[in-house]
Structure 1
Amino acid sequence: MKRNWQRRLMGNLAWLVVAGLALGALTGAYGWSLLLVTAIYLGWMLRNLMRILHWVNVFDEERSPPPESVGIWGDLFDALYRLQRRDQQDQERLRSIIQRIQDSTAALRDAVVMVDSRQSLDWWNEAAESLLGLRFPGDRGQRVTNLIRDPRFARYFVQGDYREPLELRSPLNDRVRLQYLITRFGQGERLLVVRDVSRLYQLEQMRKDLVANVSHELRTPLTVIRGYLETLQTHPDGVPATWSRALKQMQQQTERMGNLVTDLLLLSRLENSDESSEPRKVAIYPLLQKIVEEAGELVDIPSRIVLECEAGAMLMGQEPELFSAFSNLVINAVKYTPSPGTIEVRWWQDSKGAHLAVRDEGIGIDPVHIPRLTERFYRVDTSRSMATGGTGLGLAIVKHVLLRHGGVLSVRSAPGKGSTFSCHFRLQSCVPVVESA
C-alpha cells in the first residue's frame, strides 16, 4: 500500500513537471510556467486539505460520507472513512457491552458499587440505593467512607486486607445485617459488593444462643455430679473395689465435660460481641511466664519449655482473652510433644507488627488438615485427642480472640517434624518497647 502511494505521488510530480515544460514551450517562459503549474497544484492540495478537515470536524454530528476526490486524495478520503466506520462500530459494540453489564448488575439483589482510585463513588446499581441509601447523582463523587460512616467499615476499607468479608448493621435499618466484600481492580479502583445476610445472621445467632443456653444450664448438674463423686471417693468407709475404677472414670469424664462447657461459654461470649472492650496495655512477658509455669506442671522436666521474650514487651488488647489464646497454644504443644522434646515460646516485634510463635517437636500435622484446624471439634487424630483430654475448641477460641484483636493465626507443620503455631498482630496494636536505663 505504501509503495502504491509512493508511485502515485511520483507520478503526480512527473505530470506536474511535464505540464510545466509543455506550457513553457508554448509561452517561452519555462520558469514562470513551472511556478504557475506548481501554484495550481498546491492550491488543489490545500483545497482538499480544507475539505478533509471540515469533514472530520462534522463527522460525529452529521455522519456524512467523505467528499469526492481523485488520485491520492480520493484514496485518503476512502481510507479515513473506513477507519471512522470501524471506530464507530467498535464504540457501538463497547456501549452495547457496557449497557448489558449495567442491566445485569441492576437486576442483582446485591448492591454493587464501583469506587475509583480516589476512594470516591463512581457508579452503583439500584440495590445499592435500597441497601445503603445512595442517591444519584448527588452522591456521585463523594468519598465512600463519608457515606458509610461506621468506623469498622472505614478501618476495613483503608487497611486493604479483604480476604474476609465484613458484617455490619445496615445504616438504614438496625434489624438488617449487611455483608461487605471488596475486590481490587484496575489502577487502584475497588468493587464493593454488599448483600443482605440478615436471615443467615439470625439463624447463626439462634445457634449461638442455643449453645450458650445449653452450656449454661449444664453447669449446675455437672457441679452436683462432681460434688457427689468427690464425696463418694473421699468417704471414710471407702467404696467397694469394683466401684473404684468406675468412679475414677466418671470423675475424669465429668471434669472433661466441665472443661467443654467452660470453653463453649467462652467461645459464645467471644462470638456474640462485635467489638472488644477498650484495649489496654498488656505486659506480654509476665503473661507468657505465667502460662509457661502452669504448662510446666504438665511435663516431667519444666525446662523443656523455653521462653524467649523481651521484658518490656507490650500489646494493646484484653489480657484475659490473650491469656486464654496463648495458653491454648502452649498447652497443646505440651500435650502433643513426647519426652524429651522441647517446646519453644518466642515473642518478637518487627516492622510488620508483633508475633508469637509456639514451636513443638511433636508428631506434626498433615498439610491437608491445616485449613480446618480452627473449626469447632475438628480433630486430626480422634483417638489421640480423646486421650489428651482436649475439648476440640482450643484453636477455635484462639481464632476468635485473634479476630477481636486484629490478628491472624498461621500454622506451619509436617508429619514427624513438629508444628509451629504463630499469632501475628498488626503494627497499630504494638506498644514501643522502652529500654531501661
Structure 2
Amino acid sequence: MEQAKELPLQQRRNGFDPAEELSRARDGEGVVQVETPWGLPAYLVCRHEDVRRVLSDPVQFSSALTPLRGTGALDPDEVARLRAGQLIGVDPPEHTRLRRLLTPEFTVRRMRRLEPRIAEIVQTALDDLERAGKPADLMAHFALPVPSLVICELLGVPYADRAEFQDRSTRLLGTSLSPEELNAVRREDRAYMAGLVARAQADPGQDLLGMLVREHGDDLSADELTGVAGQLLLAGHETTAHMLGLGTLALLRHPDQMAMIREDPARIEPAVEELLRWLSISQSPPPRTTTTEVEIAGQVIPAGALVICSLPAANRDPAFIGDPDRLDVTREAAGHVAFGHGVHHCLGAPLARMEMRLAFPALLKRFPALALADQYEQVDYLAFSVVFGLNSLRVTW
C-alpha cells in the first residue's frame, strides 16, 4: 500500500500548536472524515467532551475490533501472536484481566518507592550532559537516557540494548513505513522481547518481568508476557523522553514560565500537568471501531467505522479550558486527556509524572543559564510519527 505523501490532519502541527485546520475542525463540525496514514477512511473526533466519550466507552467504540495496521497479508496466527498481551488492543473483560495484573506495580505509592533511584538517574544524566560540553544534545544526553534507564531497571531490560530498542521504537511509532517494513520491525521487536521473557522464566529476578513470571506465570502465556513487556518498554521511555525534550523547549520559549519553576520548584506539579495538556505529544490513541451506529457532534457514524481521537485538539478546546493556547504553568489543568481516558488511560502515568517532576527542576537548577544553541526555527522535530517529539535539541548554558 502506498504511504501518505503528507501528514494526516491528526498529526499536523504549527510549532507547538495543533494545525489551524485541526482547530477549525474542532470549533466547526467537531467530527471530520480523514484518512489514516495507511489509507483507511476514519472519523476524526476533535472536541474534548466527545473525545472523553469515545475513550470511556469500549462497548460502542472497540479497540479489539480495530485491525492492526499493516497486517492484512499476515497469517491469522501471526496476527494473534502480535496482538497477545497488547493492552491497548483489547476490550474488557480481557483488558481488565491483563491490567489487573499490572496495576499494583504502577500505583502512586509504588512509584514513590522508586523516587530516590529516579533522582539518582536524573543527576547522572545531568552529569553526562555537562561532560558532553556545550553545545550538547539534550535529547541524547538527558531526555532519552532518564526514562530509558528507569524503564530498563523496572522491567529488567539490559540498558546496554537501549540504542537497539530506541531505534525500533522510533520505527514502530512512525507512520511512513510500508506494511512489510513495519511487520519486519514488529518481528524483530517481539523476538528480542521473547528472549527476555525466556530468560525471566528460567531465572525470574526482582524486576517487573520476574514478578509477572513468579506471580502470574500460570495466568499469562509466553506470547502475552512478550506483548505486555514490549508495550511497557515502548510506552515507558519514548513518550516521557519527548515530554522532557519538548517540555524543556516550551519552557525555553516561555522564559517567564521557566523562571517560576526555577525559583519555586514547588510549582512543578501543576506545571507538569499544564505541559502535558499544552503539548499533547500523543497525537491520538489507537483508533476505535464502532460496534453500532452512533452520533457524535450531530454527525451519524455507521457501525464498523474507524474513529480517531485528536488529543491535541481536545486539550486546546476552549469549551474545556479558558485561553487554551496560552501556556500557564500556574493553572490547574485537571481533566486533560494527554494520558488518554477511560479503561485505556495510560498505566504508566504515575511513573511519567514522577520522572518529569524530578527532571525539570533538577535540569533548571543545574543549568540556570540554559538556552537554545540554535535558532528556534532550526529545531529538529520528528515527522510522520504518532508521537509529537524531537530528533534532537541542542542547548547551551
Q: TM-score range by the shorter chain?
A: under 0.3
TM-score (norm 1): 0.23
Q: Which has the higher strand share?
A: 1
